[in-house]
Amino acid sequence: MAVSPELLSRLRCPVCRGALDDLTCRGCGRSYPKAGDVPVLLDEAVSVFRAADIAPERARKPGLGRFLPELGDNLKAAGNYRRFASLLAGRRVLVVGGRVLGEGMEALAEAGLELVETDVALGPRTQLVCDAHSLPFADETFDGVVVQAVLEHVVEPARCVAEIHRVLKPGGLVYAETPFMQQVHAGAYDFTRFTHLGHRRLFRAFDEVDSGAACGPAMALAWSFTYFLQSFAATPAQRRVARAVGIVASFPLRYLDPFLIDRPATLDAASAVYFLGKKGTEVLTDAELTRQYRGMDHR
């Protein structure tokens, strides 16, 4: 799906934020390429990605994984996305990390929203290649922003959240899901984890609508056991076998999470946490932040 003509007028140079004419900046004169018909707007001074490296994803041969069960479920995404859509004052939503439709995101597609799907890589839904550290849009362009399973993969999460705040209209909504108790995934592009309160602090310039655990402690335990077995492996083949054994042995734990997901102690052991918030005008203080703790040691 191509970027709409109206949205094209809202594109900005990711370096100087100047307006663009046919992907050439009126301010600094930089020109940006396309990968096929997808614009590539990267500030290579701050991004770990390069425009010259952007290419279509190569199809992978089906592996053993297609026969294995999932280690857990995102128990909150679908309901949270329906709530997000119902609270939006407008219909244009930026999806950061949207080369594929995220878990539970069908609710947004079904709501008839204008999804502007961006990523640092090409995929079946990528409309624009950009880096969340330097979003190539004018201030106050979007009614909502979704950033699901992305902020663990950026080198400066606070800068990315500041960019989200900038491109949101006043009162605009953000929905984020980020891992807490998960092992490294995506190899070299995995940097950060957040507790529930750490995640809230990241979004301290937003007014909270809701937050909590998205994926439960049983999923976290299953991941941990599977990676524990893989740590014994010395070769890729051995790791694949260890992973398969770990998944088969631990996947039944997933059936415990529906009973645990809303318990206070789960916030301290969740596999992933979520935050739904509204663009605010004041910044949450750290003193107030600590008073918002709701975990197992809450008094």
Q: How many CA atoms lie within 13 A of 219 on its CB side?
A: 25
pLDDT tens digit sequence for 2-46: 777 788 899 999 999 999 999 999 999 999 999 999 999 999 999
Q: What is the pLDDT of residues 250-268, one digit of tens each?
A: 999 999 999 999 999 999 9
User: Regarding the domain delimited by 65-291, which CATH topology (the fold level of the hierarchy) does it fall under?
Assistant: Rossmann fold (3.40.50)
Instruction: Judge whether residue 62 has pLDDT over 90.
Output: no
pLDDT confidence bin for 64, thresholds 50/70/90: low
Residue 96 pLDDT level (bands cut at 50, 70, 90): very high
Q: Are 289 and 206 in contact (CB under 8 A)?
A: no
d(CA 96, CA 129): 10
Q: Is the pLDDT of residue 61 over 70?
A: no
Note the pTM of the prediction, 2 decimals: 0.96
What residues are paired with 96 via a beta bridge?
118, 147
Q: How far apart are CA 206 and CA 90, in angstroms?
A: 18
Contacts for 299 with CB less than 8 Å, ≥ 6 apart: none
The predicted structure's pLDDT at residue 148: 98
Cβ atoms 107, 82 nearer than 8 A: yes
User: What pLDDT sits at residue 6?
Assistant: 81
